[in-house]
Chain A
Amino acid sequence: MGRRFADLHIRCDFGPGYEGLRELVKRARCLGFSLLAVPLRPGVAREELSRLKAMAEEEGIDLATRVDLAPRSREELLSALRRLRRRFELIGVLCSNKAVARVAARDRRVDLLSFPLELRKRFFDEAEAELASGSSCALELDMMPLMGLRSPERVRLLGRLREEVALAREKGVPIIISSGATEPILMRKPRELAYLASELLDLSLEEALDALSRRPAEMVERNRAKLRPDFIAPGIRLVRRGTDCP
């Protein structure tokens, strides 16, 4: 069976009622994706989430609900996680300072760690990788925003990203490759994204393909299992309710 590709970070503006999402979902299908996640507003109603998922399913795409957090402090992050963890299948945290980065890497409720493009704000160092490897969060790398950077800045950032990839590999932190597209035309076919990541970030092609298929699928599947009403703890689920239990 072939790979099921995923793009977990499409950052287009879909309008207040997510009117543009259907076109984007169709486009993603054409490009060869089968799992998609777009950051939604934290306050979006549960009915709206169900409607969006059903709409994507009509087009043959599995839509994972995702929220992106950009907290300024540890307290802000923890409060948002308490409010939102049970509502969304994926939680991404943009770590803009070291305190937030450390808490996010340690917290099992965080799925995806991402960092700003500015070099001095990339806190994925050895300590961060160590913390992330102990929890279940992954390092998310958006490919298309890199293409918008000017040469000296991009050269330095690519060097830094290669170091982060090597660290993540060494510490066993999963890497997720996303497009990070802000416009539909910036979306690329999964294999093209894989080649881009493989050539620019020193990933093997197999690793890059996994970062676009197996890793995101496993993450979404694990979180969906956790959100089911019968989930108690990892490896423990409620099989049957009854009054005759000893």
Chain B
Amino acid sequence: MPVRRSRRRYLAIYIEGAKPGGAKELEELIFSSLLRLFGEVGASKASFRVVEYDAGEGVAVVRCGHKHAGLVRAALAAITDVGGRPAALHVLDVSGTLRALRKRLPSRLADLNAYERRPS
């Protein structure tokens, strides 16, 4: 009998302040936060991946298991710096499918206040 694929959550995040140079760096940043807060067991439960990352805009889409999305959201909130420079990761939107998230993302980005996108 085929095993049903576990449900996923896709999170669109906006990075304020210092930004990681690439998707790999972002993945390491989030993964180390997960590991620090929840250990290896917690990090493995989260089944987390960076799906796409635009370093210029500071917008990324990450994927995680739907039952443990809370772990990833907590780990994102706990990040306060990137390479020693202050940073904050804000969740813009959450969706069960990548297609729905991509559809909504432009309007979420438009909603981002000018202040939030260009912090002083």
Contacts and interface: CB of A to CB of B under 8 A. Distances in A.
A179 to B, nearest CB: 10
Interface residues of A, number: 26
Interface in A5-31: 23, 26-27, 30-31
A153 interface: no
Contacts of B120: 23
Nearest to B116: A30
Interface stretch (B1-9, B57-65, B84-92, B101-109): B84-92
A30 B113 contact: yes
Given A151-B36, A196-B78, A198-B70, A185 B90 contact: no
Given A30-B116, A185-B17, A192 B86 contact: no
Contact of A195 (B73, B113, B116): B73
A148 interface: yes
B86 A191 contact: no
A144 B77 CA distance: 9
Contacts of B119: 184-185
Contacts of A191: 73, 91
Nearest to B113: A30
A199 B91 contact: no
A196 B88 contact: no
A189 B91 contact: yes
Contacts of B36: 151
A186 interface: yes
Interface string A142-184: 0110011001000000000000000000000000000000011
A203 to B, nearest CB: 11
Nearest to B86: A185
B17 A27 contact: no
24 contacts: A23-B115, A23-B120, A143-B77, A147-B78, A147-B80, A148-B80, A151-B36, A184-B119, A185-B16, A185-B80, A185-B87, A186-B80, A187-B88, A189-B91, A191-B73, A192-B90, A192-B91, A193-B77, A195-B74, A196-B78, A198-B70, A199-B37, A199-B70, A199-B71
Given A189-B91, A192-B77, 14 more contacts: A23-B115, A23-B120, A26-B113, A26-B115, A30-B115, A185-B17, A185-B80, A192-B90, A192-B91, A196-B74, A198-B74, A199-B38, A199-B70, A200-B74
Interface of A: 23, 26-27, 30-31, 143-144, 147-148, 151, 183-189, 191-193, 195-196, 198-200, 205
Interface of B: 16-17, 36-38, 70-71, 73-74, 76-78, 80, 86-88, 90-91, 112-113, 115-116, 119-120
